[in-house]
Structure 1
Amino acid sequence: METAIRQGKIPFYASDTFPYGLSRSGYFSIGESEELIKYGDTLYGLHNGLLSPENAEEAMFVAELNSDETATLDAVKLWKKFLLAITKSNSFYSLSPSKKAAF
């Protein structure tokens, strides 16, 4: 991903949500997981308002992230995919009945 967004100060692993790593989660490709590790700390800070944008692309990231329209920046698409992955329910539904049927 060619971007002017600054790299994070620390690697972003999101180990609380993905204990086996971003690349093993099944949600992201290897390239996407590498980009999240590299830029995720900055994207997280921009998303939560902990960091202020330092260049035009970072300002565009914040604007597109808060917009309901289709994203044009790859960083916004990746971050929205990450947000969807962490909010997705991990419910498991079994096909077996919960009670034994009385015959």
Structure 2
Amino acid sequence: MSPTALHEGKDGRPMQADYISKNQNEEAIASNVSHEDREINITTQKLLWKLDTRILPLFILLVLCSFLDRTNVGNAKLYHIEADLGMTNAQFNQGLTAFYPLYIAG
């Protein structure tokens, strides 16, 4: 038989032999693509895990410090810390400004 001889396909219709081999090549390419997709998913998951384990603890620490700073400064203002330290309101506000970057980061 020649390579262009007709063969019966899955649906019973005649097909050429070179068309059948083309379908098999497409299936092989599709299986390689799915394998590459799996590898990409695995590397993405590994990267996200590394980011989570390195960034999340730092973020939690920043939020905790930010919360403690806000509550401590508020309590100190209620107990007249500026009078005890001989500060004016402007100086107290300047001291509060030092905590502002932590508020933004948190």
Measured against the shorter chain, the TM-score band is under 0.3
The structure having more radius of gyration, on CA atoms, is 2
> Larger strand proportion, structure 1 or 2?
2
The TM-score with structure 1 as length reference comes to: 0.26
Determine which structure has the larger helix proportion and give its number.
2
